[in-house]
Amino acid sequence: MQGGLRRMRGGKRDGGIRDGMKARIQFTKTGSMRFLGHLDVMRYFQKLCKRSGVDLAYSQGFNPHPILSFASPLSVGATSVGEYLDMEMNSLGGGTVREIIEHMNAESNGEIEVVGMVLLTDEAKTSMSRLAAADYLLSIKEGYAVHDDARERFRAFLSRDSIPVVKRTKKSEKEIELKEYVYEDGGGVDAPEASRVGHGGGLQDLATVKLAAGSVVNIKPELLLGAFCEDVGVEYEPSAYQICRLEMYADVNAKKGELHANGEKEKRRLVPLSAVDVMESNAM
């Protein structure tokens, strides 16, 4: 983008897309980059945007910083083909959304890849505040034997009427009904090729699940795996499992601070974050 896209401020571009706006990026995190922590990923994108010439907007005050935010931190060691980053730009730099994607990927290392970008409306909420659910692929790593029929036992575990678990945080612990927050069990499915980067194919798929996520209730897949191991009478070893986040969703029927758990009268309507608050003049 450097030397190719000129910086512009104010006004409108062809097609009615104006400069000075919000954008949402969807990206993957695979291979060795799965060991990068949340703050390191933030710094990575700050440097990536600078190298690729993205005209980021900065906060005001004594310590200006790029206006970037992630939908949800990913556990160290987990991979993803559906991460989201919101950012504010002064302009499109004289280029297009597609050109920004191409230039960012040209400067990236391949294990973090931008797979889509949309421009958002002025009123758009952050993906962090919008987040209501996430899809995960759960796999068993090569060399680990969790159970002879682990996939069948896992599905039987999820089919229970009740799954009480103790959810622990840094400040407290409480018992919750996990069944209310496991929205879907897709069973074993073909994994996205990107989720295999760095593993040499040595993974046995256990299941795909859709879990509640976000600021109201956030269910980590590790909590579900730990409860499953306790149910089948084996010790939970985090290193035995590979977690890949597939997609993240907003509940367009939910108001602020509201969550539609299983069994509630009000029904949730989940939409991928790439399709929420998007300007009509562009698509990811």
Residue 10: its pLDDT value, please? 39
Residue 17: its pLDDT value, please? 42
Q: Which of 146, 59, 149, 68 is nearest to 104 (CA)?
A: 68
Average pLDDT (103-113) is: 95
Average pLDDT (213-229) is: 94
Which H helix or E strand runs over 87?
strand 79-89
Which H helix or E strand runs over 223?
helix 221-232
Residue 284 has pLDDT above 60, yes or no: no
Between 188 and 43, whose confidence is greater? 43
Residue 264 has pLDDT above 90, yes or no: no
Q: Where are the domains of the chain?
A: 14-128, 131-266
Average pLDDT (147-155) is: 86
Q: Which of 190, 263, 259 is nearest to 219 (CA)?
A: 259
Q: Contact 78/225 with Cβ under 8 angstroms?
A: no
Residue 231 has pLDDT above 80, yes or no: yes
Between 255 and 272, whose confidence is greater? 272
Average pLDDT (6-16) is: 39
Residue 9 has pLDDT above 80, yes or no: no
Q: H-type helices in 28-166, by residue range?
A: 38-51, 97-107, 127-130, 150-158
pLDDT band at 186 (very low <50, low <70, confident <90, very high): low
Residue 8: its pLDDT value, please? 35
Token look-up 């896209």 returns: 5
Considering the chain, what is the average pLDDT of its residues?
Answer: 85
Left if phi > 0, otherwise alpha if psi is -120 to 50, otherwise beta: which for 218? beta
| Residue type at position 40 | D
Please give the share of the chain, as a percent, with pLDDT higher than 90: 62
Residue 1: its pLDDT value, please? 38
Which H helix or E strand runs over 226?
helix 221-232
- Report the CATH fold assignment for 14-128: Alpha-Beta Plaits (3.30.70)
Average pLDDT (206-223) is: 93
CB within 8 Å of 128: residues ≥ 6 apart: 69, 70, 71, 72, 86, 214, 215
Residue 134: its pLDDT value, please? 96
Residue 189 has pLDDT above 90, yes or no: no
Residue 91: its pLDDT value, please? 87
CB 282: neighbour CB atoms within 10 A? 16
Residue 185: its pLDDT value, please? 72
- How far apart (Å, rounded) are the C-alpha atoms in residues 97 and 206? 37
